[in-house]
């Protein structure tokens, strides 16, 4: 099969005729599909443990070192593999059987958590052990878009990809309520060992669910074109498509200027709001409440022609709300309820962004290039370490509160300066794909 034209659809041309919106039955009954349910559960477990560990590792490391920079760096290590390996993993995902790849990933995560739990239980855990475990978790995270979420699309089909991603992101956001809360309580009562033993048990459950997945993917690539060549083809196609470029550019802005700010929640909760581990855990879960509600609302009400606007509006609301969260303690004093309200709107904005991120890539990518472009999406997510490093440097220089405000404000500025590429999202046209 010849490679797609690197030019893709013209950046300024109208998109193909809108596909018909999903009928009501297309939005219902997704969890009744056994393989979707297992893929969803596997993702939910990975999300819960990820957020549980991020909170617990952040609090543990800050108590041990009192370094906001180190806290940001530990979170950064979970994103670094996406930037380093996201594109090759996307290309490789076209050559492998994805269910087997998912099983291998869950087995690796289970083994990693068991190793850290044993080190902590024997009193031998060091911060560098947490750094290695975080990097391995990041390797698994880099496979999520081209492997598990690609499988979701294969199971439910393009017409139900939007609602399916809403449910999947809703699971992620529910985990942001549950994970930090449980992590804070367990860290306060059972210590870091308890956190990782729980993580190991949950990963083992996810491994069992992935082993029961019935769908098998045939490799999409049957010709001997090298992986690097396929990566170049994906990049060339993206450069010729303004809408796809806009999706990826907004992803970069979010992961450099938006998401890194969440690593400062434990620091701001302790220093500005004077909360203990349990309080920090509850506070860190509030944005998950907003994100969960936002994802459910999108699943129930969003129409395809709104997808781009939801994506763009979500990142704007997220960044503005992070400014409010960090600034409120200096303006009105340490009032956890107000900080929680700001994080609630952070979560709502994050839901709009997260639900539409992979959905737009999946719908707009040619069928034969979806794996590559979802891998490229992982690379854009993986630029987050730049933001974490930048935030950590600013936090050491001017304090966590000022650094968080500055980072989110710069994100709003970057969004305003890149309007040329995201302008198609406010056109009101249906978000339809380029199915072959």
End-to-end CA distance of the chain: 12
Structural domain of residue 56, as residue ranges? 29-217+226-426
In a domain, 2, yes or no: no
H-state helical runs in 302-369: 307-332, 336-364
Residue 415 tokens read as: 């969004």
**What's the token pair of residue 75?**
């979170």
Question: Could you tell me if residue 81 is inside a domain?
Answer: yes
CA–CA gap between residue 275 and residue 272 (Å, rounded): 8
Q: Is residue 1 part of a domain?
A: no
In the prediction, which pLDDT does 246 show? 85
Report the alpha-carbon distance of residue 364 to residue 429 in Å, rounded: 13
Confidence (pLDDT) at 349: 92
Q: How far apart are CA 216 and CA 181, in angstroms?
A: 36
pLDDT profile of the chain (436 residues), mean per 10: 40 40 50 90 88 80 78 77 72 78 93 93 88 89 84 83 78 70 77 90 94 75 53 72 84 90 84 82 79 80 82 93 92 88 91 82 75 76 81 88 94 91 66 42
What is residue 48's three-state secondary structure?
helix
CA 79/CA 138 separation, integer angstroms: 6
What's the pLDDT at 202?
Answer: 94
Taken in order 101, 103, 105, 111, the sign of the CA dihedral is negative
Q: In Å, what is the CA distance from 333 to each residue of 271, 273, 326, 327?
A: 12, 8, 11, 10
pLDDT at 154: 82
Total number of domains in the chain: 1
| CB-based burial label for 8 (10 Å; 0-12, 13-18, 19+) | buried
- Residue 8 is assigned to a structural domain of this protein: no
The pLDDT of residue 351: 85
State the pLDDT at residue 87: 67
Say if 432 falls within a structural domain.
Answer: no
**Residue pair 264/391 in contact by the 8 Å Cβ criterion:** yes
Report the predicted TM-score, pTM, of the whole model to 2 decimal places. Answer: 0.66
Q: Is residue 436 part of a domain?
A: no
CATH number at residue 291: 1.20.1250.20
Token representation of residue 265? 């929640």
Which pair of structure tokens corresponds to residue 209?
Answer: 């669910």
Whether 384 and 82 have beta carbons less than 8 Å apart is answered as yes
pLDDT at 176: 66
Establish if 21 belongs to a structural domain: no
Mention every residue, 6+ apart, whose C-beta is less than 8 A from residue 267. Answer: 58, 62, 68, 71, 395, 400
Q: Is residue 5 part of a domain?
A: no
Separation of alpha carbons 170 and 348, rounded Å:
11
Cβ count near 122 (within 10 Å): 9
For residue 5, the model assigns a pLDDT of 40
Q: What is the three-class DSSP state of 9?
A: coil
């Amino acid at each position: 099969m010849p490679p797609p034209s690197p030019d893709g659809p013209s950046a300024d041309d109208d998109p193909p005729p809108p596909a018909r919106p999903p009928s009501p039955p297309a939005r219902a009954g997704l969890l009744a599909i056994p393989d979707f349910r297992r893929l969803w559960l596997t993702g939910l477990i990975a999300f819960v443990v990820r957020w549980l560990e991020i909170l617990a590792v952040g609090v543990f490391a800050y108590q041990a070192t009192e370094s906001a920079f180190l806290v940001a760096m530990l979170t950064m290590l979970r994103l670094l593999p996406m930037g380093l390996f996201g594109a090759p993993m996307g290309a490789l995902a076209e050559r492998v059987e994805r269910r087997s790849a998912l099983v291998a990933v869950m087995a690796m995560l289970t083994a990693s958590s068991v190793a850290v739990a044993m080190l902590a239980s024997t009193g031998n855990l060091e911060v560098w052990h947490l750094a290695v475990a975080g990097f391995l978790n990041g390797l698994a995270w880099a496979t999520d878009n081209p492997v598990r979420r690609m499988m979701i699309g294969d199971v439910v089909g393009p017409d139900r990809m939007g609602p399916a991603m809403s449910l999947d992101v809703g699971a992620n956001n529910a985990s942001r309520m549950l994970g930090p809360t449980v992590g804070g309580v367990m860290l306060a009562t059972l210590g870091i060992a308890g956190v990782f033993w729980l993580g190991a048990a949950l990963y083992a459950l996810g491994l069992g669910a992935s082993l029961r997945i019935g769908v098998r993917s045939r490799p999409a690539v049957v010709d001997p074109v090298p992986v690097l060549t396929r990566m170049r083809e994906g990049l060339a196609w993206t450069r010729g498509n303004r809408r796809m470029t806009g999706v990826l550019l907004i992803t970069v802005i979010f992961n450099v200027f938006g998401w890194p700010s969440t690593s400062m929640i434990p620091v701001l909760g302790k220093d500005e709001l004077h909360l203990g581990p349990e309080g920090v855990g509850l506070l860190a879960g509030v944005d998950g409440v907003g994100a969960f509600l936002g994802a459910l609302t999108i699943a129930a009400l969003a129409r395809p022609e709104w997808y781009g606007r939801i994506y763009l509006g979500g990142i704007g609301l997220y960044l503005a709300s992070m400014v409010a969260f960090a600034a409120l303690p200096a303006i009105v004093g340490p009032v956890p309820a107000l900080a929680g309200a700001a994080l609630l709107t952070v979560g709502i904005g994050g839901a709009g962004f997260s639900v539409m991120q992979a959905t737009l890539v999946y719908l707009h990518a040619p069928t034969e290039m979806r794996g590559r472009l979802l891998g490229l999406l992982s690379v854009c997510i993986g630029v987050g370490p730049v933001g974490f490093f930048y935030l950590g440097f600013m936090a050491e220089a001017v304090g966590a509160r000022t650094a968080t405000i500055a980072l989110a404000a710069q994100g709003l500025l970057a969004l305003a300066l890149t309007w040329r590429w995201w302008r198609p999202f406010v056109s009101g046209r249906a978000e339809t794909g380029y199915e072959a």
